[in-house]
Amino acid sequence: MYAIIETGGKQFKVSQGDVIKVEKLCIEPGETHVFEQVLLLSNGEKLLVGAPYVSGVKVSATVTKQDKAKKVIIYKYKAKKGFHKKKGHRQPFTELKIESITV
């Protein structure tokens, strides 16, 4: 059984026991979060597609950690002008462990 959920403007295919990284959610590690925005549900035989969401389906997940991703370097320069600009960015994320998919 798997489901496609929507969070942070992105879609994720999840099944029970999966560990996913999503955009930062303001939830402490160890707490449970329930996703009600389920776009699709499949149990192997049946396929439920929402318009836009499947009603009555919930995906519950436990927050394992809050962290930042690896640093991304942004570097700009202009040839023959002596212009160099270097910046870095670390995107925060939340790591979730999918506990159950309930219909």
Q: Where are the domains of the chain?
A: 2-102
C-alpha torsion angle, residues 53, 55, 59, 60 (rounded to 10): 130
The overall average pLDDT reported for the chain is 95
Characterize the bridge pairing of strands 2-7 and 10-15: antiparallel
95 and 67 Cβ atoms separated by less than 8 Å? yes
Indicate the pTM of the whole model.
0.83
The neighbouring-strand residues paired with 17 are: none
Parallel, antiparallel or unpaired: strands 32-35 and 58-68: antiparallel
CB 33 within 8 A of CB 63: yes
45-96 pLDDT, tens digit per residue, is 999 998 999 999 999 999 999 999 999 999 999 999 999 999 999 999 999 9
Token pair of 50 as six digits = 């929402």
